[in-house]
Amino acid sequence: MEQKLSFLKNMKKTDKYLILLGVGILVVVLSWPSGSDSAKQSVPDGEKNPISETASAENYEERIESRLEEILSRAEGAGKVEVMVTLKSSEEKIVQEDTSLSTKKSEETDSSGASRKQEEITEGRDTFTFGSGEDPYVLKELAPEIEGILVLADGADRATVKAEIVDAVQALFPLPAHKIKVLKRGS
C-alpha cells in the first residue's frame, strides 16, 4: 500500500491533474443517457417500434386489473374477484422543447404624412433529441388516466364487503364513488 502511495507522491502535479480529468470524463460518459431503457425494445435505425401506444395502454390496463384482482381477493369476505379497468386517456410523454420568440416592428410614413405601424411576432418550437436525432428527450412520462373500474366479487352481496371494496379502490385511485361499480360475481 505504501508503494502505491509513494508512486502518487512521485508524480508531477500535471500528471495528477490529467488522471483526475480522465476519471472525470469517464464518469460523465458512463452517466450520460444512452437513449435506451432496459424496458424498451431495441429497434434498428429507420424502423418504428412495433409496440404501439395502444398496446402500451392495454398492457397498463391488464397490469392494474391483475394487481387489483390479487389484492381485493385477499380482503375478508370478498371471495373470488374479477376486475375491469377502462382508461380515459393513453400514456403521455412530456418532451423537452426549446421555444424561441422573435418580434419584428416596422413603422412607415408616406408622402402625405400618414404613418403605419406593424408588428410581427414569430414563435418557434424545437424538440430536443439525442442519439440518432430521432428520439426526443423525455422529461416525464404520465400514466394513462383511469375512467372507471368494475369489480365482480363473490362477497359483493354483503353491503359491508361492497363498501370496503369501493373504499379500497378509492384509496388507490383518484376516482369518485360513482366511477367504481361493485357487483356480485355470477357463476
Domain residue spans of the chain = 53-91+143-184, 95-130
**146-160: pLDDT as tens digits:** 999 999 999 999 999
Domain 53-91+143-184 sits in CATH at 3.30.300.30
**124-154: pLDDT as tens digits:** 777 767 667 677 777 787 788 899 999 999 9
- 152, 173, 187, 135: which is closest to 72 by C-alpha? 152
